[in-house]
Amino acid sequence: MALSAWDVILQQLVNGLILGSFYALVALGYSMVYGIIKLLNFAHGDIYMTGAFVCLSVFGLLSGYMPGWSGVIVSTVAAMLAAGLLGWIVQRFAYRKLLNAPRLSLLITAIGVSLTISNTVMGITNSQPMFFISGLDNSAGFRLGGITITYIQIVLLVTSAVIMLALTSFISRTMTGKAMRAIAMDQDTCRLMGVNVFRVIGFTFVIGSALAAVAGGMACVYYGNVQYNMGFTIGIKAFTAAVIGGIGSIPGAMLGGLLLGLLEAFGTQVFRSEWKDVFAFVILILILILRPSGLLGKSEVERM
């Protein structure tokens, strides 16, 4: 049965929101780290990939005891803990000593960390993709018009929305969140006020990495497979989403991720699927030309 124009639009809207929620969760880590220490952490996509592998491995161990959603939840929590620890280790041993170094030194270090993580996982997995058999019914859901919206899609969308709202509340209402925003403005003054800057920076990496692991767990459930190079693509896309929304802005990362997901989904409907990345980056270039600071970003003045 051929789908009507409305069914096609609705289907691409759901697809775009799912894809955009992955981008948004990873982009949040980019924006949080950049906002606080002005670092483009290109290893962040590989932390997402590591979280996906941990989720898959833990679920494999628990599948005989905790099948279905219970196993997925426990596996995702384990992935969050592992990714959070990895993020803390990276900032402690790779970035901390370079916080006052030229930005180029930090950027090169981030690329080196990214290659180290991806090649380590490549060696462990022998470059072979691994498959995630969740046991969940991928077809169960309800029909809306001529399409079926699955319960898995609903759970992933609701989970992403709850996490994003919780993070926004945490950043705006808690003392740690206020400390993050203060350090983003002036680290030296925060030190004089008694704020443990290194501790807050480390906590920022832990939160951002844990969010990336949630996206990795969601990708396991939704796509059913993981591979060592999956972090590169989503890392670039999440970085693009952060720039579109205004890198350093938490609401901007959310908006940019969802917008990029929708653009890709509808772009594949208009153009062939192999052109979806071109379409997305053309939009990025147009936004940067028209609004260099991003949709919700603020212009910064560099002082010499």
Backbone region of residue 144 per phi and psi (left: phi > 0; alpha: psi in -120 to 50; beta: other values): beta
Ordered structural domains, the chain, with CATH: 5-290 (1.10.3470)
Read off the pLDDT band of 137 (50, 70, 90). Answer: confident
Read off the pLDDT band of 287 (50, 70, 90). Answer: confident
pLDDT at 165 over 80: yes
CA atoms within 13 A on the CB side of 21: 25
**The pLDDT of residue 10:** 84
CA atoms within 13 A on the CB side of 119: 6
Position 217, amino acid: G
Q: How far is Cα 221 from Cα 110, in angstroms, rounded to an integer?
A: 29
H-type alpha helices, 101-196? 103-125, 151-173, 175-185, 187-192
Sign of CA dihedral 280, 284, 287, 289: negative
Q: How far is Cα 56 from Cα 228, in angstroms, rounded to an integer?
A: 13
**The pLDDT of residue 79:** 95
pLDDT at 39 over 80: yes
- In degrees to the nearest 10, what's the CA dihedral of 132, 152, 204, 96? 20
pLDDT at 303 over 70: no
With H, G, I as helix, E, B as strand and everything else as coil, classify residue 96. helix
pLDDT digit string, tens, across residues 82-107: 999 999 999 999 999 888 888 888 88
**Minimum mean pLDDT among 102-106, 165-169, 294-298: which range?**
294-298
| Encoded tokens for 185 | 């403005």
**The pLDDT of residue 2:** 60
| Encoded tokens for 4 | 């009507």
Backbone region of residue 11 per phi and psi (left: phi > 0; alpha: psi in -120 to 50; beta: other values): alpha
With H, G, I as helix, E, B as strand and everything else as coil, classify residue 225. strand
DSSP summary character for residue 92: I
**The pLDDT of residue 3:** 66
H-type alpha helices, 38-150? 44-62, 68-90, 103-125
pLDDT at 121 over 60: yes
pLDDT at 273 over 90: no
CA distances from 227 to 22, 43, 59, 261 (A): 16, 16, 16, 21
Q: Contact, 42 vs 182, CB < 8 A?
A: no
DSSP summary character for residue 247: T
**Minimum mean pLDDT among 91-100, 106-115, 228-237, 266-275: which range?**
266-275
Sign of CA dihedral 109, 302, 201, 41: negative
Q: Contact, 164 vs 255, CB < 8 A?
A: no
pLDDT at 142 over 50: yes
**Minimum mean pLDDT among 20-34, 136-150, 155-169: which range?**
136-150
Q: Considering the entire predicted model, what is its pTM?
A: 0.90
pLDDT at 141 over 80: no
Cα 104 vs. chain centroid, distance in angstroms? 23
Read off the pLDDT band of 299 (50, 70, 90). Answer: low
pLDDT at 302 over 60: no
pLDDT at 301 over 90: no
CA atoms within 13 A on the CB side of 1: 7
**The pLDDT of residue 43:** 92
**The pLDDT of residue 202:** 94
